Every structure is written in structure tokens, then in C-alpha cells.
A = this chain, B = another copy of it.
Amino acid sequence: MRTIDSPEFSLIRTFVSAFDLPPPPAGPGDDCAVVRPGTMDLCVTTDAVIEGVHFILPRFSFHDVGHKALAVNLSDLAAMGAKPRWFVCALALPARLRPGVPRMAAGMSRLARLHGAVLVGGNVSAAPELSITVTAIGEVVRGRALTRSGARPGDLLYVSGTLGDARLGLTLLERGIRSRAAKRQLRPEPRIGLGRICARYARAAIDISDGFAQDLAQLCRASALGARVDVDSLPVSAEVLRRAGSRERATRWALRGGEDYELLVAVPPNRTRAFERHCARAGQRVSQVGVLTAGAQLRFVSAQGTTLPPPRGFDHFATVRSGAV
């Protein structure tokens, strides 16, 4: 970690000036940041957003890029039921994009403040493309982190918000159309508040970054379970429904999607009422979409009783953001 003169250091000053910073050694400006954990367990996650892979300029504004780089990490904290505490940010960029740094910092800083996450350090480097790698640290009560592996047969599956918007938003952005779905792609909202509610009721959780079907498969694998999903109950927005043209197509988008950053949680049957009531009080939309089952099979069932083939999720290496919705 660095601070002083020279273009590199002035860029760091520009970046960090957007944040509420603790002075070193708790904040940037020394070899490391020094943080003092309490008696909680710490949740640690790292994720990168990369130009041409996770976003394209200028479809994404610099503000969007800064927001999203932090949001995807906070979403991982949300999925553990953790309270965000600290994060570090490694920024890599070509000289031509340096004028965008204040706006990236502003986008990141706004989201950080909203969730009480404090920038404690980072690094700036030259690079051929813009990328931001954030590592975030949150707190949970000892032994109470909400993993993917705690679910049991009979637990009910809930999903937050609506699905498929972010993937639709990407397609719209590629055509130059801005809408609510596009905003979901540009500035995903990590479900921190909901995650902390889930920590009190749920046995397992995951955030939906690769698509509902794929992330459900991960939760099931980690818990050594199968699942039966009522695809008609998957929550879709009016915009997804309208642009899909049919409920069936909207359902496919919801299953496959990607980057919605909603939460998928497994709640034991005797806690579902209390969970739903708590969510309603907190203004958190959740939908019951299925149930976890013994065995390893994933079944996606529609009202007509037909079973859909398991759809594929989002994979960087298979198709770098070129697959149709």
C-alpha cells in the first residue's frame, strides 16, 4: 500500500479523497492497514470487475464501475449474513482512464457509506485495461455464518427481489436502451439488510451471481441435497415479463439470468412464518420458490407438471458476455 508524490501517488490521493477514511495505520497510508476485530468471526471475500469482461465503457459509467466493484463483494457478505466492516481496493488502469478515477471513487464511496464499509487500504497500478479487485471483510456472530452447506431436506427455498433483470439489462445496454433492468445490471444492490435477517432464520444461503439454476446447484451440492423448484413462482419483474413476451420465456430468463445479486436461502419449515413476517416488516421482498429434497436431483417443475431441462448459468470462459438471454 502506498502514498506520496508522483503520478501513482497523486492518483491514490484522488481516489481515497472520496472516502471517509480512518487515519493510518487503521486506514490507507502504511504498508498494511491495522484493524482490530472484536469477538466476532470474520467473513472474507474477493472479487474483480474487469473491462471487456464484466463491463464495457462507456455503457457503464465510471460511477457504475466503482459501485459494482464493491457491490459484488458486499453481496457475498450478504449471503453469509455478515455486517460489512472493512475493504481494500486494488485498482489497475491505463493512463487514458485516469480522469475517471474520481467518479469511480464516488460510486464506490456512496455504496460503502450506505452499508458502513470502510476503505482501509489499496493499491494502484498501470494496466492495459481497467480492473478493480475488492476484498471485503464483514463480521458475524461466532459460529453463525450462513454457509451454503447447512440446509436439510424439507427446508423451504426463498429468493429475494426479482430474477433475470440484470441479464436483460445487459442485452438492453448493448442496444443502448436504459431502463430499470439496465440499472440492475449497472448498479446491483447487495442484500445486506436481508442477509442479516436470514442469519436469524435460514440454514443456508447463497447470492445469485451466476444465475438461479447454477447457484441453486451450488447450494444443493454444498448441502448434499436435491431440490424441487416451482418455476411459476420464480419472481420476475413487470419489465422482464413484458420484454420476454410470455411467462415461459420470462421463466427461462429467471432461471438462467446471472448477476441479479439476489439471495437464495433455505429456511426450515417451522421458521418460515416468522421469517416471512420479519421480511415483510423490513420491506424485504422474498418469494417461496421450492423445497430442498433428499438425493441430488434438481427438478424444475411448472404448473402443468412438466419438468424443464436444467438450464445453464453464466460462465466467463464459455462465452464472454455474448450469450443471448
Contact = CB atoms under 8 A, between A and B. Distances in A.
A32 B221 contact: no
Interface stretch (A56-64, A80-88, A174-182, A251-259): A80-88
A32 B43 contact: yes
A282 interface: no
A115 to B, nearest CB: 15
A44 B90 contact: no
Contact of A89 (B46, B77, B79): B46
A147 B24 contact: yes
Contacts of A77: 31-32
A3 B214 CA distance: 11
Q: How many copies of the chain does the oligomer comprise?
A: 2
A209 to B, nearest CB: 8
Contact of A149 (B24, B46, B54, B95): B24
A131 B91 CA distance: 12
A52 B44 CA distance: 29
Given A41-B35, A44-B35, A46-B89, A30 B123 contact: no
The winner among A47, A121, A125 for most chain B CB atoms within 10 A is A125
Interface string A204-236: 011100100010011001100000000000000
Interface string A126-137: 111101010101
A238 interface: no
A34 interface: yes
A97 B125 CA distance: 21
Contacts of A131: 92, 127, 131
Interface stretch (A14-22, A161-169, A299-307, A310-318): A310-318
Given A44-B88, A45-B88, A126-B320, 8 more contacts: A6-B313, A25-B147, A31-B207, A32-B77, A46-B123, A48-B133, A53-B125, A92-B131
